[in-house]
Amino acid sequence: MPEAKDRDLSLTEPLRPAAVPDDAPVAKDAEAKRRSLRPLRALKPYLMRHPARLAGALAALVVAAMAMLTIPMAVRRMIDHGFGSADGAMIDQYFMMLIIIGVVLAGASAVRFYLVTWIGERVVADLRSDVFAHLAHLGPAFYERTHSGEVMSRLTADTTQIKAAAGTAISQAVRNTIMLIGALAMMIVTSPGLSLMVLIVIPLIVLPLIGYGRVVRRLSRRAQDTLAEASAYAAENLSAVRTMQAFGHENAVARRFADASERAFEAARERIFARAALTGLIIMLAVAGIVGVLWYGAAGVVGGDISVGRLSQFVIYALFAAASLGSLSEVWGETTQAAGAAERIAEFMDTEPEIVSPPNPAALPSPLKGEIEFRNVRFAYPSRPDVFALDDVSFRVTSGERVAIVGPSGSGKSTILSLLLRFYDTTSGEILLDRTNIATLALKDLRSATALVPQDVALFADTIAENIRYGTPNATHDDVVRAATAAQADAFICALPDGYETRLGERGIQLSGGQRQRIAIARAILKDAPVLLLDEATSALDTESEQAVQRALESLAKGRTTIVVAHRLSTVQSADRILVLDGGRIVESGTHRELTQKSGLYARLSELQFGNEAAE
Ligand SMILES: Nc1ncnc2c1ncn2[C@@H]1O[C@H](COP(=O)(O)OP(=O)(O)OP(=O)(O)O)[C@@H](O)[C@H]1O
């Protein structure tokens, strides 16, 4: 098992609550934001992309609401005139009208449902794509701060929650608001006296609703955070299944996941409880209000102040108003949940990539020679600003030269490659490619000039051919085969069940370490870039695959400027020059022969590190 694969995993690291800000002022800010629906404003541009459908949905909403609002009037007329005068023709007429209203209501509701759900799905699909596109451009520094499981949770769970808000909740809110306002207006028209009573009752219902809504919103954010935390932990462990099982840690991991999942349940339970209480409270207040009003109205009927039909009409409007209020409370809960989700997504979208192309990038000479120069480069990782991982590093690599970088673990070898690819910017000093500062180049140009064979080879759940084509999507099948042959990979690929069309499992689990490396080399050969960066895998390969990998590397390095982070003596010996790093500084440089003759760090390292191999 290549050790490197599990390198980033932090089984021992305490669970970091997702998205909990590190310092108090930020926490306060977040708390303030949480109280509002403002995060949902970010959805506006997505909604506005579909003006016709929005207008259609709104029209359908209004028509449906109007149809509903005419029903009580028909009922009053029927009771007061139809029944009162026992006029059969009139009853027929009213029922016909009710049927027409019913048809309009049904049609408008169906149209509303279709359009609204369509908008919800569309908005979420667009949002999800945009969030992912943004995430793909955030640099390694972001992913050092953020768990990948958390990222996935936001990308899926949070966007789904927004779907509920963008479609259904907004439409329900509009529908119920129209119904509420319409019903209230009609109540006043029907009976101002009774309406006054109702108007006294309504604030009693609305005020607790607002207060409770806040509680629900806070709890919902907590439930989501806890869920994200649990998924992050699960994803990490599953991707490190070998480490987990080799250390017999399955049960401990399962227990910890169960705990996290339990906490998510607990948070959800609190939220559900708050919502249940809210629903109960509202229904109780609404029923009490209606009974009171009815009571008062019934007395009016007995006293001859109001007709039975009018009281019925009023009561139906009051019921409509109450039902709308009830739905609004539910919609409020959902919308605030979605606001929580939108806020979490906005945190991603507001994260600007640290490394971007300059507005007016410099042009690289063509053809590119592939000369590299580090000039007094100092660099500290953003997470450890006080420690220089590289300290005053200067060197030049001429076109076609092959330079190996050696040094003790942690001396800064991989950092040199990261800076050259501009995953980070130097703290001071500059890095030049063909005499052009790489910070003035478009990232696309810089990275297409380099091919990287990383220590930790990433393979994707796709066919072998697609894995080799990664980064060069337009390459033909023949190109792929040629690259694989040069990488000494063709033979083993052809021996696989479906040859180049063999699908690799998640992260290419069924290939050996040496085979994975050769796929990565084929990928770099296919890219055909003038500068080659090799981060040699530390995992020991057996002699045969080491030789195969070595031959593959030689054919790859031919005619290209190559920088190798070297762990193997063979690589170092054939290098034109060796740079010896120690504590972020270049302490020696020269050929293998020159350096072994000095009694410096290299001589000691090669004695210690490569002594056995040299003896062989
Ligand atoms: N992303 C990071 N954030 C903070 N510090 C880092 C990061 N990556 C590396 N470092 C630190 O920077 C120093 C140089 O690391 P680097 O990975 O370049 O060493 P290396 O020589 O390649 O080591 P190895 O041979 O073990 O791969 C180390 O002290 C390491 O702890």
Closest C-alpha to 209, from 281, 273, 270: 281
- Sign of the alpha-carbon dihedral angle for 559, 562, 568, 569: positive
pLDDT of residue 557: 75
Nearest CA to ligand 1 atom 17: 414
Full strand arrangement of the beta sheet holding 436-437: 390-397, 372-379, 428-433, 436-437
Whether the per-residue pLDDT at 140 is higher than 60: the answer is yes
Question: Which protein residue has the closest C-alpha to ligand 1 atom 18?
Answer: 412
- Name residue 397's beta-bridge partners: 372
> pLDDT tens digits for 199-249?
777 777 677 767 776 777 677 777 777 777 777 777 777 877 778 788 788
Q: In this predicted model, what pLDDT tens digit does every residue of 252-287 receive, in sequence order?
A: 888 888 887 888 788 788 878 877 887 787 788 778
* Single pTM value for the model: 0.70
In this prediction, residue 453 carries a pLDDT of: 86
CA of 10 relative to ligand 1 center, distance in Å: 16
- How far does the centroid of ligand 1 lie from the alpha carbon of residue 415, in Å? 6
CA 389 – ligand 1 centroid, Å: 7
Decide whether any atom of ligand 1 lies within 6 Å of the 411 Cβ: yes
- Is residue 489 within 8 Å of 516, Cβ to Cβ? no
ipTM score assigned to the predicted complex: 0.95
pLDDT of residue 24: 34
Q: Which residues contact 203 (CB under 8 A, 6 or more apart)?
A: none
- In this prediction, residue 53 carries a pLDDT of 92
| pLDDT for residue 375 is more than 90 | yes
pLDDT of residue 559: 80
Query: What is the tens place of the pLDDT at every residue in 517-550?
Result: 888 888 988 888 889 898 876 554 566 666 767 7
pLDDT at 28 over 50: no
For 381, residues 6+ apart whose C-beta sits below 8 A from its C-beta are 387, 389, 415, 424
Domains along the chain with CATH numbers: 34-349 (1.20.1560.10), 456-528 (3.40.50.300)
Which atom, in ligand 1's list, is nearest to the CA of 390?
14
Which tops the pLDDT comparison, 577 or 601? Answer: 577
pLDDT for the residue numbered 545: 63
CB 555 within 8 A of CB 362: no
- pLDDT confidence tier of residue 509, bands split at 50, 70 and 90: low
pLDDT digits (tens, 9 = 90+) for 173-205: 888 888 889 888 888 888 888 888 777 777 776
Burial of 421-445, coded b for 16+ CB within 10 Å and e otherwise, reads: bbebebbebebbbbebebbebbbeb
Pocket flag, ligand 1, residue 389 (CB < 6 Å): yes
Among 3, 378, 413, which is best to mutate for testing ligand 1, by the most ligand atoms less than 8 A from CB? Answer: 413
Q: Is the pLDDT of residue 56 over 90?
A: yes
Confirm or reject: Cβ of 384 under 6 Å from ligand 1. Answer: yes
Cβ neighbour number for residue 577 with a 10 Å cutoff? 19
CA-412 nearest atom, ligand 1: 18
Q: Report residue 563's pLDDT band, with 50, 70 and 90 as the boundaries.
A: very high
Ligand 1 and 267: CB distance under 6 A: no
CB of residue 606 inside a 6 A radius of ligand 1 = no
Ligand 1: distance of its center to the CA of 585 in Å?
13
Residue 100 Cα to ligand 1 midpoint, Å, equals: 75
State which ligand 1 atom lies nearest to the alpha carbon of 567. Answer: 25
Question: CB of 337 closer than 6 A to ligand 1?
Answer: no
Q: 11 CA distance to ligand 1 centroid (A)? A: 19
Q: What's the confidence (pLDDT) of residue 395? A: 93
Most confident of the ranges 67-71, 539-543, 596-600: 67-71
The average pLDDT across 4-11 equals 34
Residue 375's Cβ-count burial label (10 Å; 0-12, 13-18, 19+) is middle
pLDDT per residue as tens digits for the range 445-483 = 899 899 888 888 888 888 889 889 888 888 899 999 988
Is 414 near ligand 1, meaning CB less than 6 Å away? yes
Residues 84-131: tens digit of each pLDDT = 666 677 778 878 888 998 999 999 999 988 998 898 889 888 988 998
**DSSP-assigned letter for residue 528:** T
Which protein residue has the closest C-alpha to ligand 1 atom 24?
409
Mutate to test the pocket of ligand 1, among 377, 379, 384 (most ligand atoms within 8 A of CB): 384
Q: Is 377 helix (H, G, I), strand (E, B) or coil?
A: strand
Supply the residue whose CA is at minimum distance from atom 29 of ligand 1. Answer: 410
d(CA 616, CA 603): 17
